Amino acid sequence: MIHRRIALLAAGGAFAAPAFLRPAAAQAPAATAPAQAPGFYRFRVGGFTVTMVHDGFFGRPLEGFVRNAPLAEVQAAAAAAFLPTDRQVIPFTITFVQRGDTLAVFDTGNGVTPAGATAGRMIANMAAAGIDPARVTHVIHSHFHGDHVNGLLNAQGARAFPNAAVLVPEPEWAWWTTEGNQTRSPEMQRGNFANVARRFAPYQGAVTPFRPGAEVIPGITSVAAPGHTPGHTIFRVADGDAQMMFLADLTNRPEILMANPDWQIVFDFDGDLAAATRRRVLDMVATDRIRVTGYHFPFPANGYVAKQGNGFRFVPADWSPVV
């Protein structure tokens, strides 16, 4: 009976829901598959409403993912978390923060991906959550890796967020827009220079760099967290006593990197600095019991950090049916 219902929806019958409310899976070509729930989740931080929006996932071999630990140790960490031991599944979840007429998004997902890709679901899940890209007032970037900036462009190569101001960490902007830095970057990071030029091109005049440490918009303050990239930045969202932090890529999957904060991953620009930053910030949010969101945390990618052994563990926040 589930199958017939979905088939009807996919056919766009008279009673079909508007696209923005259809579960994402119902829009997939496999009309006979039962639908997954749409990938969004909401909670409040004082007067802010936070919406977590899933963009799918990316899989890569587990081998080579961590640079400074034997594969067997990384596999053991994955197995302890009941994750695959042959590949690293990297989920993407984007943090939106809304208060009054302000709707900010931290990073922009993978954008338009080829049919059948496991990532690129952000726009569909935004629609399911009732978020129109044209209403986004601020795009706030943590750093400029492709999975964080590619969604700046829509399918036509134009602005995916046509009315948004784009706020970028000054050191991140400086690094990736200075051509001479290319040869000073690790080889596998060099593609970012061309990609950054391409993704930001339609936003000329809309991009404003900020100094890490600055309040970027009322209630949202940036915090320097370099290492993963030269200008990697995280953010504190505060309203009175209520606060949360968006940790961006301070860690990749917490099951691997919070448990082993000194591990360095293949995507780190400066692994030593990334690990030092990771320990410093995790210690702070664990000590202060601050709610956090992350870009590669397991969906819905919000919760708390606790100290455990020589590292940390991620504690997902309890799911609430009430926002």
Which residues in this chain contact a copy of itself in the complex, by CB under 8 A? 1-2, 5-6, 15, 17-18, 21-25, 33-42, 49, 51, 54, 56-57, 80-83, 89, 91, 98, 101, 103, 118, 121, 128-132, 135, 289, 298-300, 303-304, 306, 315-323
288 burial via Cβ count (<10 Å: 0-12, 13-18, 19+): exposed
Shortest Cβ 21–a copy of itself spacing (Å): 4
Shortest Cβ 253–a copy of itself spacing (Å): 9
- The answer to whether the beta carbons of residues 302 and 316 sit under 8 Å apart is yes
Tell me which residue has tokens 């590669």: 296
Burial of 20-35, coded b for 16+ CB within 10 Å and e otherwise, reads bebbbbbbbeeeeeeb
Shortest Cβ 43–a copy of itself spacing (Å): 9
**Nearest residue (CB) to a copy of itself, 231 versus 298:** 298
Rounded CA separation 226/286 (Å): 19
- The answer to whether the beta carbons of residues 107 and 199 sit under 8 Å apart is no
**Nearest residue (CB) to a copy of itself, 24 versus 45:** 24
**Nearest residue (CB) to a copy of itself, 209 versus 316:** 316
**Nearest residue (CB) to a copy of itself, 91 versus 111:** 91
Shortest Cβ 162–a copy of itself spacing (Å): 14
Shortest Cβ 304–a copy of itself spacing (Å): 4
Tokens of 31: 């009309």
Other beta carbons within 10 angstroms of residue 48's beta carbon come to: 22
**Nearest residue (CB) to a copy of itself, 42 versus 198:** 42
Tell me which residue has tokens 């991140």: 172
